[in-house]
Amino acid sequence: MLDPRTSGIPLWRRWGLLAALGVLTLYVLLYLGVYARYSMPVNVGIDASQAAVVMRAVRAALEGEGEGGVAHGQKLPGPLWVSVFRKGILLGRHRIEAVTLAGALKKAQAHFSTPQARRRFGAPSGVRLKLDLWVGRGDLVTSIPLLFAKSIVPGVDGLALQADERHAYLLPDTLYSAELLAGYQPFFFMHEFRTGLNIKEAVTMLASRLDLTMEAWRGAQKRYSRFRVQSFLEPLAKSPLAKSYRASTALPVVRHRVPVEHIDRSIVRAAVTRGANYVLRQMQDNGKFRYIYYPLHDKHSGGAYSLPRHAGTTWFLSLAYGHLRDERFGKAARKAIEYLVAHAVPPGCRDTDFACVGSQQYADLGSAGLTTVAIAEYQLATGDKRFEALARRLGSFMTMMQRESGDFCHIYAPDKGKRNCEPVLLYYSGEATLGLARLYQLTGDETLKKPIERALDFLTDSKYDFFMGQFFISEDHWTCIAAEAAYDAVHKESYLEFCQEFARLNRRAQLEEGHPLHDLRGSFGITPFFMPHNTPVGSRSEANVATYLLSQRWGRPDAEVRDTILRAVRFLVDQQYTEDRYYLLRAPQKASGGMGQTPIRGSVRIDYVQHAAAAMVRALPMIPEKPWP
C-alpha cells in the first residue's frame, strides 16, 4: 500500500532512505569531530635565508667571532631548537623560547658564546648545526595503544609530554636515531611485524628527561601531544648542495635528510657510481660481501648469508661496469663470481653435467638463476669467457628443474640427487627464467628457446589460471625483466601486455604530489599509514625499465611507464645515503651510496643497494639531460 504523503514512495523505502541518510550524517559528523580534535594546524615558520642568519650567528659565537648576523622581528610560532652534530652524534641541543626571531638569535648567541659551550663542542670546523622550529601541535589518542603508536607521522612529528608544569620533547630525528619509529608490536603472535611508535621506549625517554622521582611521576597529570617542526641544516663546506641551494641559505630537512627535488642524467649517474662504490667497500678479500650495515651505529652484521642476493649484487656490478666502464667494478664482479665458483657449488653438483648453487644438502633454483645472470652480464660486458662453462651447466640444472607446466621445482638436494617440488619460493621461477634468457643472449643456444617460452607462458598466464587469479598480480618483477631479456629468443605480445598491466598496477600504487606522504612521492605505498619500502621501488622499477624497453622493441614506447620510472628514480636518488644530505650518519663516507630499508629504518642490506642501483643504471638512457621534473 502506498503512502499518499510521499508521492507514491513505499513507506519502508522512505524509512530506509532516512536511516541511510542518518548513518551517513553520523559518519560525517564523527569524521568532522575527530578531524577537529586531532588535526594539526601548521603555522607559518621562517625561510631558509632567515635560518641561515641564525646558523651563522651560532657558528660565529662558537668561533668567538662576535654576533655574525642580524635577524628581524618576525614572530615565531613556538620554540626553536639549535642542535650541534659531529659525525652523526648529537653533541648538544638547546631549546629557545622567544617571541621573535631576533629574540631567539640573541638568546642563541648568548648560549653558544660561553666558554663552557666552546669546550663542550670542540673544534667548530668539525660540527654541523641544525635548526628545528615548532610550527604546529596536535592531540593524541593515548588510551588505545595501537592508535597512540600510529598517531605519530614517522620522521615528521615529534612527541611532547607535559607533566604538571614540566615539559619534555623528542624531536623527529631523535625518534628516528633511537629507532623508535617502527617498534610497536600490535599482535603478540607476530613478533616480526612492527609498525608505529615504540610507545614504551619513547615514554621512558621522555620520563628520563623530566628527572622526576617515581612517586612524582605517578602522581603527575600527564598530557602527551605530537608536534611538527620546520627543520634546516647547515651546508657542508665545498658540498655540491651548498652551491645548488646557495651558500647564503640553510638546507631544508624532511625526514632526517635534505630532499632531492630534481634529477638529471648526471645526478643519476653519480648515484649509480655511489651505489657501486658502496658495494665495493662491502667486498671482503675472498669475494664475499658484508651483508648488513647499520649507518646509525657504524656496525656490520652477518646474519644468514643469501647466495641469491650475492649473485644479484654481482649482476649489478657487471651492469655498472657495462654502463660506466670503471675497471674496479668489472674486477669486483669477477671476484664475486670466483667466490661462488669456490664456495657455492656443492660436491654433488661438481662432477655432473649440470651445476647447482648451495650446500650439499640444499641447493635452490634462485641461486642458480641469478648466478647465471651475473656470469652472462659479466661476460657480455667484459668479453671474459672463463665462467661460460659454469653458466651452461647452470642452464642444464634449471632446465632439469623445469616441470611440465613450465614452472620449476625450487629446491634440490645434491646429496640425494633429488628435486623437491613442494616448496614454492617467491621470485625463484622468475629468476630462473631470466637466467635462461640471459644464457641464450650469451650463447645463442637454440635448445633454450622452448624452456624459456614454457616458463614465460606459465608466469604470464597459467600461473593465474584459477578463480582468484583474475583479481591480482603477484611480485612479478623478475618475470618482466626476463620477458625483455628473452625477446630475441621468444617474443609474444601477451608478454608485453602482462608487463604493461603490472606497470599500471605499480602506477596506481605510486605516491604523487599532494599525497599525505608527498615527500616520498615516486615510491609505491599501501595507504598513508604504512611507510613504503625502498627495495620494492627498486625491483619494480627494474621491471618497469624492462617493460619500457620491451614496448620499444614492439615499436610502441609506453610513455606512462617511462614517467613511472622517472618518478621512482627520483625517489631512489632521494633515499640514497650521501655525506652531505644525511646528517645522522656515524661514518658518512662508509654509508655513502647505501640504501635504507625504509625512509624510517636505516639498516642497509646488500640487496637494497642492488635493486635500487640496478634500476637506476638500466634507466640511465631514459633520464633527461636537463633537470626533471
Domains observed in the chain: 48-253 (no CATH), 265-622 (1.50.10.10)
* Average pLDDT score over residue span 415-433: 96
Mean pLDDT of the region 119-132: 90
Per-residue pLDDT at 4: 43
Q: What is the predicted pLDDT for the residue at 91?
A: 95
For residue range 296-317, list pLDDT tens digits in order: 999 999 778 999 999 999 999 9
Q: 506: exposed, middle or buried (C-beta count within 10 Å: 0-12, 13-18, 19+)?
A: buried
pLDDT of residue 245: 45
Q: What pLDDT, in 10s, does the model give residues 517-555?
A: 889 999 998 877 888 999 999 999 999 999 999 999 999
Q: What is the pLDDT of residue 7?
A: 52
Confidence category of residue 319, pLDDT binned at 50, 70, 90: very high
Which residue intervals of 113-171 are DSSP H helices?
115-121, 145-151
| C-alpha cell recorded at residue 81 | 631548537
- Tell me the pLDDT of the chain averaged across its residues: 91
Has residue 68 got a pLDDT over 60? Answer: no
Q: Which of 264, 259, 256, 257 is nearest to 616 (CA)?
A: 264
Q: Is 277 helix (H, G, I), strand (E, B) or coil?
A: helix
Task: Single out the residue of 429, 355, 366, 438 nearest to residue 394, CA to CA.
Answer: 355
9, pLDDT greater than 70 = no
**Neighbouring-strand partners of residue 262:** none
Give residue 246's pLDDT: 47
How do beta strands 411-413 and 604-605 pair?
unpaired
Range in 55-59, 212-216, 259-263, 332-336 with the lowest mean pLDDT: 212-216
* Cα separation values, 591 from 291, 298, 379, Å: 13, 8, 30
| 261, three cell numbers | 627535488
Looking at residues 211-228, what average pLDDT do you find?
91
CA 270 to chain CA centroid, Å, is 18
Each residue of 561-595: pLDDT tens digit? 999 999 999 999 999 999 999 999 999 999 999 99
What pLDDT sits at residue 220? 92
Look at residue 244 and tell me whether its pLDDT is greater than 60: no
Helix (H) / strand (E) element for 418: namely strand 418-420
- pLDDT at residue number 248: 60
pLDDT band (50, 70, 90) for residue 432? very high
**Highest mean pLDDT range out of 76-80, 213-217, 526-530?**
76-80
Q: Which of 566, 547, 576 is nearest to 619 (CA)?
A: 566
Over residues 80-94, mean pLDDT: 95
The tens digit of pLDDT for each residue in 590-605 reads 999 999 999 999 999 9
H or E stretch at 389: helix 388-400
Q: For residue 2, what pLDDT is reported?
A: 42
Task: Check residue 304 and give its pLDDT.
Answer: 86
Supply the pLDDT for residue 35: 55
